[in-house]
């Protein structure tokens, strides 16, 4: 259920609604009177294909007591944008319109995305209201900082739509099968410097690892994502550590796995680094150039502890034989073998085709699918391993 209150950021709630509907959510929208001053209910009705609730006493409603019915059928109540007024009403339990009544009646998790003038946001009254609601288990996402509609710059903007979207998924994942599990995920390629200008890297975009991190988060896990350089949006609601070299990743993974239930290494780690990094830019005077490479530590192989270790194998030939060798050599509970020479599989794209290999000889060949779908299957197998 989406509660929309009176803020100029209402137009962003329309974008959010569209994304939620496209992702398969059934969205019931409740608009306050003030929200309707900014956008017509018709906008949300057209986006959700469902009637928008605007009045407390609707004689034509099919639901017996509408606010109770709405409150009971919601899996999550998101209020975005949320004004200082609705936040204050929720704190004190006011129930003088449809949204505040429903919020009071619901047992679903409540997520609030505030949007208001920075003075209103920073006012101790609003801060106290937020603190009390947080203590009661309400989730706040944002607000962001920047240019505000009132012409000032400060804290109070409705935060990024995708962060709000993610906060909803996290709230829904509170009963997920990975609740209480701490999972470390690595993603992306590493970068080994040659000189201040150049580096050795690989074609990993990070998409597979990020998909895993988001899927684990959405199933209730506490996720620590350790990622090499890339252009992907840092997922909301996961602990994030940015690394550059294989050695950086080694240190970060060692520290993160001291207290975890599983590690999933989708990162493409450089096996070698330049033995001596040039302090200044190397000039092209010689007709050829040789670089001496030193071996990097094998992160997965070095990890010991009472947690599940899952690796990936990116191969261009002898996929299963090479993956089998890595499964044993690194002491893994499962390895995800992907053939990077196949169209739509491996680096860069949104899809992957993989075979899962287990130490007892079992193999599961999966068809081409989105990295998001594959991430969920890998997590299904991870939960089977617990």
Residue 10 has what DSSP assignment? H
Work out how close the CB of 187 gets to ligand PMT at its nearest, in angstroms, rounded to a whole number: 6
Residues lying near ligand PMT in the complex (CB under 6 A) are found at 188, 204-208, 246, 265-269, 271, 296, 298-300, 311-314, 326, 338, 340, 346-348
CA 79 to chain centre: 20
Q: Distance (Å, rounded) from C-alpha 75 to C-alpha 30? A: 15
Work out how close the CB of 321 gets to ligand PMT at its nearest, in angstroms, rounded to a whole number: 12
For residues 134 and 295, which CB has a smaller minimum distance to ligand PMT in the complex?
A: 295
Q: Which two tokens stand for residue 272?
A: 């070698």
For residues 91 and 273, which CB has a smaller minimum distance to ligand PMT in the complex?
A: 273
For residues 194 and 264, which CB has a smaller minimum distance to ligand PMT in the complex?
A: 264
* Burial of residue 82 (number of CB atoms within 10 Å: 0-12, 13-18, 19+): buried
Are 225 and 187 contacting, i.e. CB atoms less than 8 angstroms apart? yes
Which of these is catalytic: 101, 150, 199, 260? 150
Work out how close the CB of 329 gets to ligand PMT at its nearest, in angstroms, rounded to a whole number: 9
Task: Spell out the alpha helix ranges (H) of 106-227.
Answer: 118-122, 124-135, 161-172, 207-218
Work out how close the CB of 380 gets to ligand PMT at its nearest, in angstroms, rounded to a whole number: 17
* Burial of residue 78 (number of CB atoms within 10 Å: 0-12, 13-18, 19+): buried
Q: What is the number of other CB atoms lying within 10 angstroms of the CB of residue 233? A: 11
Of 258, 195, 249, 200, the closest CA to residue 226 belongs to 249
Element of type H or E holding 254:
helix 246-256
Please say if 150 is a catalytic residue.
yes
Work out how close the CB of 318 gets to ligand PMT at its nearest, in angstroms, rounded to a whole number: 12
For residues 158 and 268, which CB has a smaller minimum distance to ligand PMT in the complex?
A: 268
Q: Which two tokens stand for residue 36?
A: 């309707």
Q: Which two tokens stand for residue 376?
A: 């969920």
For residues 138 and 253, which CB has a smaller minimum distance to ligand PMT in the complex?
A: 253
Mind telling me the catalytic residues?
A: 150
């Amino acid at each position: 259920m989406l509660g929309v209150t009176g803020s100029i950021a209402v137009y962003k709630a329309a974008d959010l609604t569209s994304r939620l509907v496209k992702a398969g959510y059934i969205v019931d929208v409740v608009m306050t009177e003030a929200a309707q001053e900014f956008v017509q209910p018709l906008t949300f009705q057209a986006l959700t294909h469902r009637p928008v609730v605007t009045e407390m006493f609707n004689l034509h409603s099919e639901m017996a007591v509408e606010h109770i019915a709405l409150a009971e059928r919601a899996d999550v109540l998101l209020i975005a944008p949320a004004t200082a007024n609705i936040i204050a009403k929720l704190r004190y339990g006011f129930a003088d319109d449809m949204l505040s009544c429903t919020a009071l009646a619901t047992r679903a998790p409540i997520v609030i995305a505030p949007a208001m003038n920075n003075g209103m946001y920073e006012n101790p009254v609003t801060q106290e209201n937020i603190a009390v609601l947080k203590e009661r288990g309400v989730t706040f996402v944002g607000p962001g900082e920047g240019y505000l509609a009132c012409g000032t710059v400060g804290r109070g903007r409705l935060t990024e739509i995708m962060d709000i979207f993610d906060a909803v998924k996290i709230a829904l994942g509170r009963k997920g099968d990975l609740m209480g599990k701490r999972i470390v995920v690595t993603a992306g390629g590493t970068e080994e410097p040659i000189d201040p200008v150049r580096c050795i890297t690989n074609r990993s975009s990070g998409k597979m690892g990020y998909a895993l991190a988001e899927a684990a988060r959405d199933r209730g896990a506490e996720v620590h994502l350790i990622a090499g350089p890339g252009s992907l949006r840092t997922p909301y609601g996961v602990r994030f550590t940015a690394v550059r070299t294989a050695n950086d990743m080694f240190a970060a993974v060692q520290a993160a796995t001291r207290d975890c239930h599983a590690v999933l290494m989708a990162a493409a780690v450089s096996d070698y680094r330049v033995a001596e990094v040039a302090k200044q830019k190397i000039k092209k005077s010689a007709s050829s150039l040789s670089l001496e490479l030193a071996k990097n530590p094998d992160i997965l192989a070095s990890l010991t502890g009472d947690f599940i270790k899952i690796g990936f194998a990116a191969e261009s030939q002898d996929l299963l034989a090479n993956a089998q060798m890595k499964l044993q050599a690194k002491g893994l509970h499962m390895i995800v073998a992907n053939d990077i020479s196949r169209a739509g599989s491996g680096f860069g794209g949104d899809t992957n085709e993989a075979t899962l290999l287990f130490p007892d000889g079992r193999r599961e060949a999966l068809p081409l699918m989105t990295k998001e779908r594959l991430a969920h299957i890998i997590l299904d197998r991870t939960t089977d391993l617990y």
